[in-house]
């Protein structure tokens, strides 16, 4: 199966390794010819996954027409802020029979649309699916055990893609709840920033456990209001991804949260990391979406206040802890 991956960062490369390990011909579409040449000559993507060797049937190309001609499966693994423009730029090149798989986690600002909804708008005649879960590329590329969920309205399509990526160290599950899968993957980014801030402020294990627990409650409440199913948020793309991104050293959002606690701005932290932390733009888009439907999201509001209203973290924490009392299930 000819597979093209739009996005040559760590996650796109890791997904390419998984697919190639199952015998598929994989092309990693890069933005620059020099990057493609370096990947092909060194058999590694040292910028994003240093020390990881690439299989021979995974190649890089900076030529979109060549990379997409004949593609049967196209993965979109790009920052959500550029997702729509990227999809539109390749509209005329992607074969009509190709399946489109979104592997990005976020909600579009202004429209509140999920990434699969953007793909359906741009490519109305294509089958669209999503992949999400507690998936740090650095571990998966090295063969450490992990799981993910693949969502599609068509169960047969989900099962077909399940086999595309499953290996003896990467277990895949299927679901028809595309909305729930995408919403979990997007909303948890905000809480990962909060976890990084709490860790940086040395608030302790009790605070972090409470934060993760209340984050799951808020994510589920908001996700259901936006069309997801409750059981999905108890799964890999919900609580699973929440745990990984809140506490892992690999989490960009957690690292940005640590930087915020140390006095850096989000922009300074992302520049130092050299990678996008989706929680930063997602906080704004999710906050706006929450307000548009009248949802109660105190944790999202708190992170928004720190990032976009320049409120001190300690002040925001005090406001969270002194809100009106409520039943836990509310």
State the total domains in the chain: 2
Residues 195 and 140 in one domain: no
Residues 223 and 140 in one domain: no
What end-to-end distance do the CA atoms of the chain give, in Å?
48
* Residues counted in the chain: 330
DSSP 8-state assignment for residue 147: E
* 189 domain residue, yes or no: yes
Residues 116 and 43 in one domain: yes
Residues 275 and 207 in one domain: yes
* 219 domain residue, yes or no: yes
> Of 231, 220, 85, nearest to 149 (Cα)?
231
Residues 151 and 230 in one domain: no
- Residue 216 C-beta-side C-alpha neighbours within 13 Å: 24
Residue stretches of the annotated binding site: 7-12, 31, 48, 105, 133, 137, 188, 241, 251-253, 276, 278
Residues 93 and 189 in one domain: no
From 139, 158, 176, the end of a domain falls on 176
Q: Which residues are catalytic?
A: 188
* 330 domain residue, yes or no: no
DSSP 8-state assignment for residue 150: E
CA 296, 217, 171 angle in degrees (round to 5)? 135
Residues 252 and 156 in one domain: no
pLDDT in tens, 148-183: 999 999 999 999 999 999 999 999 999 999 999 999
Residue stretches of the annotated binding site for sn-glycerol 3-phosphate: 105, 133, 188, 241, 251-253
What is the model's pLDDT at position 249? 80
Instruction: Walk along the chain (330 residues) in steps of 10 and give the mean pLDDT of each run.
Output: 96 97 97 96 96 97 97 96 96 97 95 97 98 96 97 96 96 98 96 95 95 97 97 97 90 91 89 84 95 96 95 91 89
Residues 253 and 156 in one domain: no
Instruction: Give this prediction's pTM.
Output: 0.94
Residues 165 and 194 in one domain: no
* 326 domain residue, yes or no: no
What is the model's pLDDT at position 242? 96
Residues 35 and 55 in one domain: yes
From 124, 149, 176, the end of a domain falls on 176
Residues 162 and 268 in one domain: no
* 19 domain residue, yes or no: yes
CATH number of 242's domain: 1.10.1040.10
CATH number of 7's domain: 3.40.50.720
* 327 domain residue, yes or no: no
Residue 157 sits in which domain range?
Answer: 2-176
* 32 domain residue, yes or no: yes
* 329 domain residue, yes or no: no
Distances in Å between the Cα of 282 and the Cα atoms of 63, 97, 185, 288 are 30, 31, 11, 10
Residues 255 and 169 in one domain: no
DSSP 8-state assignment for residue 54: P
The dihedral sign for the CA sequence 257, 263, 265, 271: negative
From 135, 152, 176, the end of a domain falls on 176
């Amino acid at each position: 199966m000819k597979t093209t991956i739009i996005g040559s960062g760590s996650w796109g490369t890791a997904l390419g390794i998984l697919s190639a390990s199952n015998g598929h011909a994989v092309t990693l579409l890069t933005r620059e010819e020099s990057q493609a040449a370096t990947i092909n000559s060194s058999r590694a993507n040292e910028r994003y996954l240093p020390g990881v060797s690439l299989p021979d049937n995974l190649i890089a190309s900076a030529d979109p027409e060549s990379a997409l001609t004949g593609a049967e499966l196209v993965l979109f693994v790009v920052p959500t802020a550029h997702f729509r423009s990227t999809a539109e730029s390749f509209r005329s090149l992607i074969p009509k029979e190709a399946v489109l798989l979104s592997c990005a986690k976020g909600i579009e600002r202004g429209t509140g649309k999920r990434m699969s909804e953007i793909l359906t708008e741009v490519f109305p005649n294509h089958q669209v699916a999503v992949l999400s879960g507690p998936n740090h590329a650095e571990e998966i590329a090295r063969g450490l055990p992990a799981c993910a969920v693949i969502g599609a309205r068509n169960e047969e399509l989900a099962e077909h893609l399940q086999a595309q990526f499953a290996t003896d160290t990467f277990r895949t599950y299927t679901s028809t709840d595309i909305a729930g899968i995408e919403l979990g993957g997007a909303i948890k980014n905000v809480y990962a920033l909060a976890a990084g801030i709490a860790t940086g402020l040395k608030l302790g294990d009790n605070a972090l456990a409470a934060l993760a627990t209340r984050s799951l409650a808020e994510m589920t409440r908001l996700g259901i209001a936006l069309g997801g199913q409750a059981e999905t948020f108890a799964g890999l793309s919900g609580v699973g991804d929440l745990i990984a991104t809140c506490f892992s050293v690999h989490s960009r959002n957690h690292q940005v949260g640590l930087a915020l606690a140390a006095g850096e701005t989000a922009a300074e932290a992302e520049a130092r990391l050299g990678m996008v932390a989706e929680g930063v733009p997602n906080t704004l888009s999710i906050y706006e979406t929450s307000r548009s439907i009248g949802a109660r999201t105190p944790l999202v509001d708190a992170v928004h206040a720190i990032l976009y209203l320049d409120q001190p973290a300690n002040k925001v924490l005090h406001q969270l802890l002194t809100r009106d009392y409520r039943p836990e299930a509310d």
